[in-house]
Amino acid sequence: MPEADRGGPRADLTPVDLSIMVVGIVLGIGVFKTPSLVAAYASDATVFVSLWLLGGLITVIGSVCYAELGSARPDAGGEYTFLREAYGPRLALLFAWARCAVIQPGAIAAAAFVMGDYANVVVPLGTRGPGLYALASIALFTFVNHVGTAPGTLTQNVVEVVTVLAVLGVIVSAFVTTTPAPPPALPNGTSLTGVGLAMMFILLTYGGWNEAAYLSGELQDARRNMARALVVGVLVVVAVSVAINLAYLHVLGLDGIRDSDAVGASLMRAVAGDTGASVMSVVIVLSTLTTLNGLIITGSRSYYALGRDVAALRAIGRWRERGSTPANALVLQGLVSAVLVVFGAATRVGFRTMVAYTSPVFWFFMLLVALSVYVFRRRETGDAPHHRVPHHRASHYRVPLYPLTPAVFALSCLWVLWSSLLHAGWGAVLGVAVLLSGTPLLLLTPARPAA
């Protein structure tokens, strides 16, 4: 193995870098697609806003749980490392398969397609335009991050600052230039099942903050900075998301949100006509590009961690010192994502279908991560002496109001898992089938024992 590939991640990321990464990944396609789906389950504007606030609270609670896990064991493996140390290597390998084969490249392909749809409105390339834009964006950002982590992070920071400023401009113009829309003529009822389904879409919109776990190994002084960087990023996301949903309500009203398939464009068309809709398309392109770049950065760390720990996959577990980047992992991830884009262009598999079959698997593993907080706390307190964590982790961040906080997060994961199974139907069966198809990985021997 070349000397240049023997190293590992360097702690070069600042807390600001990580916070911006969280904002960039999360504040992407969801807030421009899911509000109409959420509005379908809300009886009135108060319920609609309350659901977004409840989702924000759950997201903040989840972020502090992840902050404890990431500050105690900073590693490029993120959730894979948490699951490995809590439950053993076999379950962690099954998660790694689900993430590397379906969840992450599927998310990358979905973000690239949404970007392609809007880019094709701004600069049309014909019926194949969205797919061409999607492939080009994946290739471009894979190349940027293959050059090095620093160029990828700089790209993320610049584009995300521009995007947030643009979204804030949209919100202000919505309130300044329009009068409030009338309330719904015939309010819908709100059932517990409806709330669960609405929360699935809301937490999807807020989703992606957990990707910060995969950068904990590259964060400066992660034991002190993880909580601050992650929570600040999440609070910015929640504040901007709630604000733009208030703008939707102000301009379109709840009925207008329900009836719109592209609520962001509808908002700007009402504010500034077709020119405004075109401007909004550019904003959404920028927003999806930051999501795409962030997913490429964090997703490659999953491939790297899997290759690092499984001898048969060692080629993708090499960290290139020049540029401090998992170069081989990035290439493989880019190829898998590109294949999914080609498949999506040929079959027209929709965004909602991708959510349907990935959500149950995703929330199942997130539930296990939430419960791992109890596993590690039990070891730290000495109740399980044969599995105590190293003494140097004693100073890491701890969630407030333990044991209530992780319990609320775990119950929320269970609730959304059940709701996603209820919503997904056969899509959930397909997701589980893909997950189980990775069981041959369980026969592989990890290259190094669990910590």
**pLDDT tens per residue, range 221-244:** 777 788 888 888 899 889 989 999
CB atoms within 10 A of CB 360: 24
Dihedral (CA of 245, 249, 255, 261) sign: negative
State both tokens at 15: 């807390």
Q: Band the pLDDT of 318: cuts 50, 70, 90.
A: confident
Please report, as a single letter, which amino acid is at residue 253.
G
Q: Band the pLDDT of 369: cuts 50, 70, 90.
A: very high
Residue 383 inside a domain? The answer is: yes
Nearest to 76 by CA among 424, 393, 247, 324: 324
Nearest to 333 by CA among 151, 143, 157, 154: 143
The domain containing residue 110 runs over which residues?
3-443
Q: Are 143 and 215 in contact (CB under 8 A)?
A: no
DSSP string, 341-366: HHHHHHH---HHHHHHHHHHHHHHHH
Q: What is the pLDDT of residues 70-106, one digit of tens each?
A: 888 877 678 888 998 999 888 888 888 888 887 888 7
- CA separation (Å) from 317 to 81, 94, 153, 398, 449? 14, 17, 21, 30, 16
For residue 403, say if its preceding peptide bond is cis, omega within 30 degrees of 0.
yes
Please report, as a single letter, which amino acid is at residue 3.
E
Residue 132 inside a domain? The answer is: yes
Residue 448 inside a domain? The answer is: no
Q: Per-residue pLDDT averaged across 165-192, rounded?
A: 72
Residue 450 inside a domain? The answer is: no
pLDDT at 323 exceeding the cut of 70: no
The CA angle 122-166-211, to the nearest 5 degrees, is 95
- CA separation (Å) from 256 to 37, 190, 248, 264? 12, 18, 8, 11
> Which range among 5-9, 119-123, 382-386 has the greatest average pLDDT?
119-123
Residue 71 inside a domain? The answer is: yes
Residue 25 inside a domain? The answer is: yes
Residue 23 inside a domain? The answer is: yes
Q: Rounded to two decimals, what is the model's pTM?
A: 0.77
Q: What is the pLDDT of residues 280-304, one digit of tens each?
A: 778 788 778 877 888 888 888 778 8
Query: 184-198, 245-259, 322-336: which has the minimum mean pLDDT?
Result: 184-198
State both tokens at 106: 């599927």
Total number of domains constituting the chain:
1
For residue 370, the domain's CATH number is: 1.20.1740.10
Nearest to 351 by CA among 291, 309, 403, 437: 291
Which is more confidently placed, 76 or 206?
A: 206
| pLDDT given for residue 353 in this prediction | 63
| pLDDT given for residue 375 in this prediction | 94
State both tokens at 366: 């997130």
Residue 297 inside a domain? The answer is: yes
Q: Where are the alpha helices (DSSP H) in 260-399?
A: 263-309, 327-347, 351-380
